[in-house]
Amino acid sequence: MKRRTRLPDFGVIFDSDGVIVDSEPFSLAAFREAMQDQGVFLNDEDIMANCGLTDSDIVKYVLQKLGKKVDGDQFHKRKQKLYEEKVLAGDLKPCPGAVLLLNSLSASNIPYALASSGSKDKIRLNLNRVGLWDRFPVIISGEDLPRSKPHPDIFLESAKRLSLPPEKCVVIEDSLNGIKAAHNARMKCVAVAGTFPPAELTQADFIVESLIQITVKTLRFLVFEKNFSQGGHSC
């Protein structure tokens, strides 16, 4: 008698930068320099406010918040070029615990996706550089959808491609905009402290220092525990 394949009871959606790949130092440096090339000098607060946004939304932020008009196409191309130069000259690595968690999810037949506001080229460069391009059956870029984080679109599309309802998915993020997007999608969210300190990530449902602290059991608990309340529980 043929054994029936057990259907997954939940899924996991990963952000890329700062969650799967330790790329935020390269990203933020390229972002700052590309803006400076157009005469826009951003403070740390402005830099952090734009984490998790697409380049088009960053350009809108600069215009609305600072009154500075930026050539979006020039900014995108320059930032991408700077980023590639820094990554190729540096030592890009997977975030601690990333490979172990992916292995655990695969062994437990838990589907997962990668949903990043970054460009397709950046995602491909990052994952190829750390040897993880073939590990993600579902990859969604900020270029694939008209609205970016904190809108829920990218996570809702991820759930759709995983063939799971949104409430059966848990998001792993490192940015404030990502956490808001997860909750706007009606998903639980684990925050990895790195880009932001734990004190600034209290909107997440669970906070960890690294993916090493996350297990399949923890993620399942977050999805299915009815009495679990939001509010930045730390591991």
Where exactly are the structural domains of the chain? 11-22+92-234, 24-89
Q: Which residue has the tokens 């700077």?
A: 82
CATH 3.40.50.2020 fits 11-22+92-234, yes or no: no
CATH number of 24-89: 1.10.150
Q: What is the DSSP string of 72-117?
A: HHHHHHHHHHHHHHHHHHTT--BPTTHHHHHHHHHHTT--EEEEES
Tens digits of pLDDT across the chain (235 residues): 444 455 679 999 999 999 999 998 898 899 899 999 999 888 888 887 888 778 888 889 888 988 889 898 998 899 899 999 999 998 999 999 999 999 999 999 999 999 999 899 999 999 999 999 999 999 999 999 999 899 999 999 999 999 999 999 999 999 999 999 999 999 999 999 988 899 999 999 999 999 999 999 999 999 998 655 544 554 4
- In the sheet that holds 11-14, the strands lie side by side as 139-141, 112-116, 11-14, 169-173, 188-192, 206-208, 233-234
CB-CB neighbours of 177 under 10 Å? 21
The yes-or-no answer to whether 11-22+92-234 and 24-89 have a common fold is no
Predicted pLDDT at 2: 47
